[in-house]
Amino acid sequence: MTISEISETNLRLAARRAYEVGRLEGALWRGAVAALFALPAFLMCGRTPLSAFCLGGFALVVLAGRIRGVAWEEGAHAGAVAGIAPCLLPALVSKLDPALCAAHVAGVPWPCALGGLIAGAILVLRGRTSAGLPFWAPALAALGFAASLGCIPAGAMGFAGLLIGVLAGGAPALVVRRALS
Amino acid sequence: MNPAGRSALQEELTALARGERAAFDPLFRRLWPLLRGFARRLLPADEADDAAQEALLRIFRRASEFDPARDALAWTFGIAAWQVRTHRTNARRRREEGAGALPEREDPAGSPEEQAAAGELAAALERALVELPPGDAATLLAYARGERPDLPGATFRKRVERALGRLRALWRIRHDHF
């Protein structure tokens, strides 16, 4: 191996390191932005350890997806975008009208169901069926963490509403997508 | 760069921006000679490789930010041109700081003319001292060295004044032109 080959090998390693560092920087930035988006839900709808876990998990899924890249990144991104509605809608409702919030917690969790409806539609429309697990695992994880943040105060009923909403929103979107493709 | 190479660069950089690590090696092989050639056209040979390396590392560090809608070649050369300019500015600053950090040192011996004049003066003084009475010469040498003979202070001062007076007189006679 000549000196120029050695120096080129070192340069290649340094370039690879620079690429990974740049990717990590971008991932940290995205994770921070994701946490910032979900923070109102954490602050308004119960600052419990479970909420903190969901907030951290959401940021971590977005961060890891960005580092890994390709389908993992696309999945985390789609899940995060879809999760914004069920994450923030219940918090927004409780802020605008506490009486509605009380009804949401005590009775029918309609903000969770509505958020789930929007999330399901977004996720299906942005989804890539060909990408398989690398896409859907981070997508569902990001959506799950974000939506849980908003629906934790509503308890089991909130999660049930969320699930029904996601299915109700996703099914017609899936039909539309298949019809168009 | 030919259109095929340009298209390949676009594809590889787009893939790397998406996180496809498999695109790293072909992109490295394509970019390194390109950047080295670019830097060598703009900088002296000894600085060009450094600047090209810096540009290469910066491009890979920012590869994830690359927007596939943009032209990869223009994006790459934009970063490289910026890096070359930064390298040039830093090199100039280093040279200026280097020049500032080493101010012109005064030669304690002075200029050659000054050294010659000082030598002549020392020789003239030596000749004058030789021509003085030995007691006066000894007094002046002791005074010049800061030594104090075993004499009362006032007596020594008077002897120094007297010896200096004689030296001045002798000097005027010998060196009217001074």
pLDDT in tens, B13-32: 999 999 999 999 999 999 99
Say if residue B21 is exposed, middle or buried (CB neighbours under 10 Å; 0-12, 13-18, 19+): middle
Q: Is B36 on the interface with A (CB under 8 A)?
A: no
Please provide the DSSP assignment of B13-74 as one string. Answer: HHHHHHT-GGGHHHHHHHHHHHHHHHHHHHS-HHHHHHHHHHHHHHHHHTGGG--TTS-HHH
Question: Which residue type is seen at B132?
Answer: L
Residue B119 has pLDDT above 60, yes or no: yes
Q: Is B18 on the interface with A (CB under 8 A)?
A: yes
Higher pLDDT, B161 or B56: B56
Residue A145's pLDDT is what? 92
Interface contact A26-B65, CB threshold 8 A: yes
pLDDT tens, residue by residue, B43-90 = 888 788 889 999 999 999 999 999 999 999 999 999 999 988 988 888
Portion 2-41 of A in contact with B at CB < 8 A: 8, 11-12, 14-16, 18-19, 21-23, 26
Can you tell me the distance from the alpha carbon of B61 to that of B74, in angstroms, rounded to the nearest whole number?
17
Say if residue B172 is exposed, middle or buried (CB neighbours under 10 Å; 0-12, 13-18, 19+): exposed
Q: What residues of A are in contact with residue B61 (Cβ under 8 Å)?
A: 18-19, 21-22
**Least Cα separation, residue A59 to chain B (angstroms):** 19
Residue B171 has pLDDT above 90, yes or no: no
**Least Cα separation, residue A159 to chain B (angstroms):** 33
Can you tell me the distance from the alpha carbon of B124 to that of B138, in angstroms, rounded to the nearest whole number?
17
Q: Closest partner residue to B19 among A16, A18, A69, by Cβ?
A: A69
Can you tell me the distance from the alpha carbon of A172 to that of A125, in angstroms, rounded to the nearest whole number?
10
Residue B108's pLDDT is what? 54
How far is the CA of B95 from the CAs of A31, A74, B85, B98, B99, in angstroms? 43, 49, 15, 5, 6
Can you tell me the distance from the alpha carbon of A178 to that of B111, in angstroms, rounded to the nearest whole number?
94
SS3 assignment, position A109: coil
Q: How confident is the model at residue A64 (pLDDT cuts 50, 70, 90)?
A: very high
Q: What residues of B are in contact with residue A73 (Cβ under 8 Å)?
A: 18-19
Higher pLDDT, B168 or A35: A35
Q: What's CA B55's distance to the chain center, in Å?
A: 27
Interface contact A22-B53, CB threshold 8 A: no
Can you tell me the distance from the alpha carbon of A95 to that of B126, in angstroms, rounded to the nearest whole number?
103
For residue A135, the number of C-alpha atoms closer than 13 Å in the C-beta half-sphere is 12
- How does the average pLDDT of chain B come out, rounded? 82
User: Would you state the structure tokens that stand for residue A75, as one six-digit string?
Assistant: 């999945």
* Contact in structure between A2 and A9 (CB atoms under 8 Å): no
Interface contact B61-A21, CB threshold 8 A: yes
Q: What is the number of residues in chain B?
A: 178
Does the model's pTM come out above 0.90? Answer: no
Interface contact A22-B60, CB threshold 8 A: yes
User: Would you state the structure tokens that stand for residue B109, as one six-digit string?
Assistant: 């011996």
Q: Closest partner residue to A15 among B20, B60, B64, by Cβ?
A: B60
Residue B178's pLDDT is what? 47
Interface contact A15-B56, CB threshold 8 A: yes
Interface contact B64-A68, CB threshold 8 A: no
Interface contact B57-A18, CB threshold 8 A: yes
Interface contact A22-B62, CB threshold 8 A: yes
Higher pLDDT, B134 or A65: A65
Q: What is the mean pLDDT of residues B126-155?
A: 76
